[in-house]
Amino acid sequence: MFKHLAKFTIISTLLISSCPNISLAQDADTTFFVVGKAVRFYQDPDKQFKLWRYHVFAEVFLTSNGELSNLSVTLPGQDGTKIIPHLKPTKSKLVNDVYKFADIHFMSEEVMNRTVANGVFTINYDTPSGNVHDRTVTLEGPGVPPSPVVSLFQDDKEVSPDIIDPDKDLLVSWSEWPAGAADPNNILDDLIFVAAHHCNRDYAIHSGRPFEGTEFLTYEARDFRIKSEALDPGRKYTMFVEFADLVDTNRVGSIEGLATFTNQTYIDFHTTGKSQHTCPE
């Protein structure tokens, strides 16, 4: 039986001879990569959704001291459009760094799908410990899932996001997510992430990621508790709850490849009290 907070265990590996471009030692630099299509909504204090944007993304997740270079992603289609990024890694004190090397924005799902078709995406990058060349994931399926409704609780009572008490734990919960399911490949079940940052953009709160040796949330979770120790008084936090429907999971060597349709619900919440920080909001 799956636990709400899952800890990843390596289940199987593929023979390295099946993909000669993969180094046995490359897990010294990267843990996994993901390609996906997503929709972002803002949820207001009345629990109404406002569309922010749709986007196509590709990311590579580093180990704690990982390095990489020469990233590219080739999009589906006969022309094989290749995107070569010029982005620095997103750094955080709570989770490992991530290179977001494709992030293409659209205002509708129709335009997104017309511009970037579903299909096979090809990933290439180099690391000091080994290279990842011609790795593929297939993004096919029902598309971006509907948004669950997010609610906030303190002392077992629902609270407004405008008056969060920083001296109490904050329980973030969400309505049913029908798209979430176990992975038939036994690599990684559908995921949920809860994260929040304030004005310096670094994560102040994060529920954890797979393959980083920490706890993380799978599809069965219905809530996540933010400890009061993570909250400062008098601050604005931008939080997202992300629901990742993994439609392709594969493993070659020690690197997992994922394809996902993702829903990201953003909520701003404010803690009461006087801020001890001068960071502009």
Q: Residue 25: pLDDT above 70?
A: no
- pTM for the model stands at 0.85
Q: Residue 101: pLDDT above 70?
A: no
Q: Provide the pLDDT confidence category of residue 279 given band limits of 50, 70 and 90.
A: low
Burial of 53 (0-12, 13-18, 19+ CB in 10 A): middle
| Mean pLDDT, residues 212-237 | 94
Q: How far is CA 104 from the centre of its chain?
A: 16
For 121-150, write each residue's pLDDT tens digit: 999 999 998 889 999 999 999 888 888 999
pLDDT > 90 fraction of the chain, expressed in percent and rounded: 59
Task: Pick the closest to residue 257 from 60, 23, 38 (CA basis).
Answer: 60
Q: Residue 213: pLDDT above 90?
A: no
- 206 within 8 A of 95, measured Cβ to Cβ: yes
Q: Residue 91: what pLDDT?
A: 58
Largest CA distance in the chain: 60
Q: Residue 94: what pLDDT?
A: 61
| Mean pLDDT, residues 241-269 | 95
User: Average pLDDT of the chain?
Assistant: 84
pLDDT higher at 173 or 94: 173
Backbone angles phi, psi at 177, to 5 degrees: -120, 90
